[in-house]
Amino acid sequence: MNEASLASRRIEVADAEEAIELYYQKGWTDGLPVVPPTERRVREFLESCGRGPEEVVGAVPQRNRTLTAEKVAINAIMAGCLPSYAPVVMAAVEALTSDRFNLHGSTTSTGGAAPLIVVSGPVAEELGINSGVNLFGPGFRANATIGRSLRLVLMNLCDSRPGVLDRATLGHSGKFSYCIAENEAASPWEPLRVDLGYAPGDNTLTLVASESPHQVADHASHEPRGLLDALADMMSAVGNLAKGDWAVVICPEHAAVFRRHGWSRTDVKSYLVEHCGRSIADLKRFGRRKGQVEPGDDQQMVPLFSGPEDILLLVGGGLAGGFSAVIPPWMGSPSSRAVTVPIRR
């Protein structure tokens, strides 16, 4: 890769501190300091994933934007990514710009969703992508910086800035960084990637436009139905009734219950499909449907899911504590659907 192959404008500064402050002045940060993307770092990043700087990783036609590998690399470096993270970052951008994901709708909406990255495969352990204790929290470079790279791509390459093309009423902390890995060691089921049609040795990345995690505490249930009733109750709250792809993260303690009782991933999904939803009477009482409650309305249910394919089910989190989570999808039309892509290394 020769020096002329990098197309981005060079800016000379005295030192790293001046570079960091310059990025603040230009509005190129997410509010946190960035790592200066020097030419050396950009080259190393691109070489790590075997991409040419001019290679198109994705496009956003609604915004007339084309995302090249060079521009993605610059933003990933700013986020603090190591070169070894490059294949994961590129896969995330490919998923982000898929028509199925609906980047424009989900990132412009007042709903405030963020792209949740779920990594499945040997690459998660190799790169140190956390799947255990403090799953959605701080302390892990790979999770924090890979997730953050998508936010900087959205802001700097897609103009998803607050008040411009980001109109979120509230937003949530996942809009800084939202990246986890599947805890395969604690799971009673085949890996998520296998459930999604990939081979056990593959590495995949799944992207979902998601709200923040809604934690479900249950230290009392010792059989699957009790646990799932608690999850279903949280998912069926009137303020949660979002159609789309829900992520359900089962903690290891709860996963052990399903293992002991021999419940498969299909069993769990089928139970949630059957038990998530509200009666027409409830929807009328809360003003979600017009009219007075009539006889039979309490027995007529409106399901949350159209089928098991609407649920992304995985195990994650620390070994101790009965805390699982349900993550509602972005509520918008046309909807955003989960996208899974292979990680090309």
pLDDT for residue 180 is more than 60: yes
pLDDT for residue 1 is more than 50: no
Give the pLDDT mean for 57-79.
97
Give the pLDDT mean for 278-291.
95
Q: How many CB atoms neighbour CB 339 within 10 A?
A: 22
Find all residues with CB under 8 Å of 122, minimum gap 6, and list them. 201, 203
Give the pLDDT mean for 307-317.
98
Residue 131's pLDDT is what? 98
| Confidence tier at 17 by pLDDT (50, 70, 90) | very high
Residue 242's pLDDT is what? 87
| Confidence tier at 71 by pLDDT (50, 70, 90) | very high
Examine residue 334 and say whether the peptide bond preceding it is cis (omega within 30 degrees of 0). yes
Give the pLDDT mean for 251-262.
98
* 35 and 77 Cβ atoms separated by less than 8 Å: yes
Residue 171 and residue 176: Cα distance in Å, rounded? 10
Give the pLDDT mean for 182-190.
98
The chain-wide mean pLDDT, for the chain, equals 96
Least confident of 10-14, 138-142, 149-153: 10-14
Residue 4's pLDDT is what? 42
| Confidence tier at 51 by pLDDT (50, 70, 90) | very high
pLDDT for residue 2 is more than 80: no
Taking alpha carbons only, the member of 99, 54, 90, 45 closest to residue 344 is 90
Residue 282's pLDDT is what? 96
Could you give phi then psi for residue 203, rounded to 5 degrees? -120, 130
Provide the residue count of the chain.
345
Summarised one tens digit per residue, pLDDT across range 85-127 is 999 999 999 999 999 999 999 999 999 999 999 999 999 999 9
